[in-house]
Amino acid sequence: MSRSFKKAKGTSIKRYIEAIKVEKGIKSIMENEESVTDVAYDVRHKSPGTFSNTFKKQTALTPKKYKQTSSYAYQFLNKWIKKKSIILHYANFTETANSFSIRIKYPDGYKPKITCMGFFREAMPKGEPVAGVASSDILEFTIENIPNGKYYLFMCEIMEDFSLLPALLMKAFAKRLKFTIRKKFY
């Protein structure tokens, strides 16, 4: 069963459950004034310590630091994006010939908030992407200099309350695309 699950989801059952617990923890941390201890038990962790360790492994921040920096990050993104620009991010910038173009289409009348897209090495995104972009009004762009490797594409939308909304509102809703970036030979 675990092999079938890993083949279908791209990750182990354990890591999948951990990611769900962290996602629920993030929602609870951002929406409520509960302590980290209460959140840990609410999302069914055995102890606040294991929750904090798992949380940090997934997000690169402790739960407390995550809450402190999220408000600042959202304000920063909003100010930057109001300039009608995009924010590009690279974990380790390397000049390559690899690029990926994307066009995001929302339903008519829908006004997106902050749309984020990132390339992750694992099916369950954790930490920062290898390469990524954040945008609001610009919904067609190309990310250049993507390092060689196998990646999963993850897209979401950050709402004002810091909740995440999967950005692909169609049949591919919330699916991660697996692909390989290889060096081009000309």
Structural domains in the chain, sorted by start: 2-69 (1.10.10.60), 84-181 (2.60.40)
pLDDT the model gives residue 182: 45
Does residue 177 register a pLDDT over 80?
no
Mean pLDDT of the region 122-135: 83
Does residue 104 register a pLDDT over 70?
yes
181 confidence band (pLDDT: 50, 70, 90) = very low
Does residue 178 register a pLDDT over 70?
no
Does residue 103 register a pLDDT over 80?
yes
21 Cβ partners below 8 Å, 6+ apart? 43, 44, 45, 51, 54
- Per-residue model confidence as pLDDT tens digits over 134-147: 887 778 888 899 88
- Per-residue model confidence as pLDDT tens digits over 5-35: 887 777 888 888 888 888 888 888 877 778 8
CA 93 to chain CA mean position, Å: 19
Three-state SS letters, the chain: CHHHHHHHHCCCHHHHHHHHHHHHHHHHHHHCCCCHHHHHHHCCCCCHHHHHHHHHHHHCCCHHHHHHHHHHHHHHHHHHHCCCCCEEEECCCCCCCCEEEEECCCCCCCCCCEEEEEEECCCCCCCCCCEEEEECCCCEEEEECCCCEEEEEEEEEECCCCCEEECCCCCCCCCCEEEEECCCCC
Q: Rounded distance, CA 91 to CA 72, Å? A: 20
- Per-residue model confidence as pLDDT tens digits over 43-99: 888 898 999 998 888 888 888 888 877 777 777 777 776 776 778 888 888 899 998
pLDDT the model gives residue 28: 84
Mean pLDDT of the region 124-142: 82
- Two tokens, residue 86: 């995009």
- Two tokens, residue 46: 């055995």
pLDDT the model gives residue 163: 54
156 confidence band (pLDDT: 50, 70, 90) = confident
